[in-house]
Structure 1
Amino acid sequence: MHVQSPFLVCIFTTEKRELMESPEADHQASLRLRGQAEIWRHMFAFVDSLALKCAIELQIPDIIHSHGAGRPITLSQIISCIDNAPSPDISYLERIMRLLVRRNIFSIDHPSDGGEPLYGLTHSSRWLVNGSDEYTNLSALYLIETHAYLVGSWNFLSQSVKEGGMAFEKAFGKRSLWDLASQDNRFNKLFNDGMACTGRILIREMVAGYKDGFDCLRSLVDVGGGIGGMISEIVKSYPHIKGINFDLPHVIATAPVYDGVSHIAGDMFHQIPNADALLLKWVLHDWDDEACVKILKNCRKAIAEEIGKLIIVDVVLQPDGNELFDDTGFAFDLHMMVNNPGGKERTELQWKKLLEEGGFPRYKIIKIPALQSIIEAYPE
């Protein structure tokens, strides 16, 4: 029987320990641990999203903003201002705010005299305040994107991969969000408010970055314009334009009256009102290529020959991009896939192909400081 020398065992053990304690081993151990932490982070990413939804539903950004010109306030002051709260639990609110402070949604200040912590707004939460001069309120959009309808459908994504078909339809038995909106008045209002919210953000950037694009127009149709918020803002800035807001009957039924804007109910898959130019804000990303070509061909029939153009406001994906909104574009692409019939975000090459098939062989992309870009397209 072979007997190993104690001296050799000692050398082997020492070498093994040194190897295990080497920089490379430390690096691999660190990577493994970081990988585990990353999975935990993704596992509970929904907590961030829904904790912020809770804060919006409780109107906490508005409560802080309305208190002394937005000066920080205590939890006791916040909870005393929450509507319809017969027995509020301040310990729950404290824990929610603790997380949202860590996520830089709210700020916290600990007074030197040992008094209650003071909670304030940050550049993020100011986007959730009503009536702010500098920021557009994103609350309505946030609430629609975190609604149970849109979130619930994600649980059927793997089933869609296996079987084909849209996750939203598997979840709710409806072909699209608009089917549900036409039957659920509360959801319809929330959806329209959310879309109006994006319009308010975009019009500010469009007026600044695309102001020459409206100068020569006499008439403009906002195709799928919701309740008309965006076209009304354009007409305010360019009163020489005759504005037409065009959407489905159940949407137009809730649209308010705006100066210089006519509301027309209809279906863009059948016919679109005539005008010098047509605006499609976040419309084509809702549909597959075949449906988009049909819409584009109807647009081509509706615009004036001499100065006619199509103004598309939508995401242009940057496959290798690392700019501010690029990651959000790819997340939105999956959101479209899950909740819309054939919906997708597109790269410039995909937009080019789509526009050519729809009768718009010439185009240019105009960058604005937003998630979306402007694609100005011209007929043959």
Structure 2
Amino acid sequence: MEAGLRGQIEMWKYMLSFADSMALRCAVELRIPDIIHSHGGPITLSQMVSNFHDSTSPDITCLARIMRLLVRKKIFTAHHQSDGGETLYGLTDSSRWLLHDSELTLAPMFLMETHPWQMSPWHFLSHCVKEGGIAFKKAHGREIWEFAAENPGFNKLFNDGMQCTSRVVLTTIISQYKNGFDNIGSLVDVGGGTGGGISEIVKSYPHIKGINFDLPHVISTAPMYHGVSHIGGDMFETIPNADALMMKWILHDWSDEDCVKILKNCKKAIPEKSGKIVIVEVVLEPEGNDAFDEIGLALDLVMIAHTSGGRERTQIEWKKILKQGGFNRCNIIKIPALPSIIEAFPE
């Protein structure tokens, strides 16, 4: 193929790549993966729409066109029956991650990231380049944490998204971080949301006293978990004392300067000789060939769109802020997940 034509095709793909996300969001909102799963196998479009309990006049032709694209993208399978009957649609390894009722699901995160509240800041990236500032604030008039505190609907959307990704990542951490929690008597999950993460660790390590620490408006909606206590507060002011701390996708929300402030408070909260922090974050490899490396670069742009100066960091950048925060030694442990484990020690 001639190079210029290939380039044109690539631009059309990028121009319309949002259609993939929106078609998939539609399928998640309609709970199509759940409907197929509950049926026990592939089903027809007619069977799908019969499960839309709040729909009086579904448009099967519209659904067929959406499913046609998602089949092409290998999100669903399509089996055309030899007798000319209706096409049967089934799940794939990809769409199984969008089951709402599965213990491990990315459906709430997908709905959060593609919601209009979260999409509108992306339209301000060029403004951020030209004049600086915070994309989310340009879109909504306030920063994301203020917006969440004032808007219960967004607060729930955000917390549900964070909790589902936390569960996915923690399942991997618990299986891969061998003996990492063995000698810890108490563990604070700093910025732990509604507590789902720390509760999973306590289930696997019942000797640990779990403390879930987050902003008061987040803690106010947190359910009770066995072995976990909830404490509301501000990590920029003080962090509850414990043998060890965990921060999962927290520091990437903040600038280097803010991260150093948080890390200094972390250092005050743990024993000087035996304490440690377990940081779960992306370690960028801009030239890397790992399956998650390109996703890390995309997530770095999410930080521009949604945070107040946050960013994903390379190994060199992580070591720099850790040292400035009082943590001179660290181990980076790769796991089969988007983030890595960064153990940091104050000695």
Q: Give the TM-score taking structure 1 as reference length.
A: 0.90
Distance in 2, matches of 1:78 and 1:31, equals: 43
Determine if the alignment matches structure 1 residue 72 to structure 2 residue 42.
yes
Q: 2:120 is matched with which residue: 152, 160, 185? A: 152
Alignment map for 1:222-301 (pairs within 5 Å) = 222-301=189-268
Offset at residue 333 of structure 1 (A): 0.4
Aligned partner letter, 2:198: I
> Which residue does the alignment assign to 1:58?
30
> Which residue does the alignment assign to 1:309?
276
Offset at residue 236 of structure 1 (A): 0.4
Determine if the alignment matches structure 1 residue 190 to structure 2 residue 160.
no
Determine if the alignment matches structure 1 residue 93 to structure 2 residue 77.
no
> Which residue does the alignment assign to 1:207?
174
Q: Secondary structure at the match of 2:90?
A: strand
Distance in 2, matches of 1:156 and 1:319, equals: 24
Distance in 1, matches of 2:141 and 2:320, equals: 32
**Deviation above 3 Å: which 4+ runs of structure 1?**
130-133
Q: Secondary structure at the match of 2:10?
A: helix
Aligned partner letter, 2:99: V
1:148-186 superposed Cα distances (whole Å, 9 cap, x missing partner): 1211111111111111111111111112x2111111111
Offset at residue 259 of structure 1 (A): 0.3
> Which residue does the alignment assign to 1:117?
87
Distance in 1, matches of 2:98 and 2:31, equals: 9
> Which residue does the alignment assign to 2:313?
346
Determine if the alignment matches structure 1 residue 373 to structure 2 residue 340.
yes
Distance in 2, matches of 1:225 and 1:335, equals: 20
Q: 1:357 is matched with which residue: 320, 324, 328? A: 324
State the percentage of identical aligned residues. 63
Which stretch shifts more, 180-189 or 295-304?
A: 180-189
Aligned partner letter, 1:53: R
> Which residue does the alignment assign to 1:49?
21
Q: Secondary structure at the match of 2:222?
A: coil
1:43-77 superposed Cα distances (whole Å, 9 cap, x missing partner): 0010000110011000000000000x2x1000000
Aligned partner letter, 2:149: S
Aligned partner letter, 2:38: S
Offset at residue 190 of structure 1 (A): 1.2
Q: Secondary structure at the match of 1:212?
A: coil
Determine if the alignment matches structure 1 residue 107 to structure 2 residue 77.
yes
1:185-244 superposed Cα distances (whole Å, 9 cap, x missing partner): 111111111110011111111111103100000000000000000000000000000000
Aligned partner letter, 1:58: L
Q: Give the TM-score taking structure 2 as reference length.
A: 0.98
Offset at residue 320 of structure 1 (A): 1.2
Q: Secondary structure at the match of 1:221?
A: strand
Offset at residue 83 of structure 1 (A): 3.0
Q: Secondary structure at the match of 2:150?
A: coil
1:119-152 superposed Cα distances (whole Å, 9 cap, x missing partner): 000010000113447xx11000111111112111
Q: Secondary structure at the match of 1:244?
A: strand
Larger RCO, structures 1/2 (Cα 8 Å, 6+ apart): 2
- In the alignment, structure 1 segments of 5+ residues that lack a partner are 1-26
Aligned partner letter, 1:247: D
1:305-357 superposed Cα distances (whole Å, 9 cap, x missing partner): 33210000000000210111100000000110121111100000000000000
Aligned partner letter, 2:226: D
> Which residue does the alignment assign to 2:12?
40
Aligned partner letter, 1:180: F
Distance in 1, matches of 2:96 and 2:42, equals: 13
Distance in 2, matches of 1:52 and 1:305, equals: 49
Distance in 2, matches of 1:253 and 1:187, equals: 15
8 Å Cα contact 2:31-2:100 kept in structure 1: no
Distance in 2, matches of 1:83 and 1:61, equals: 15
RMSD: 0.9
Count of residue correspondences: 347
Determine if the alignment matches structure 1 residue 180 to structure 2 residue 160.
no
Distance in 2, matches of 1:183 and 1:224, equals: 18
Distance in 1, matches of 2:140 and 2:155, equals: 16
> Which residue does the alignment assign to 1:320?
287
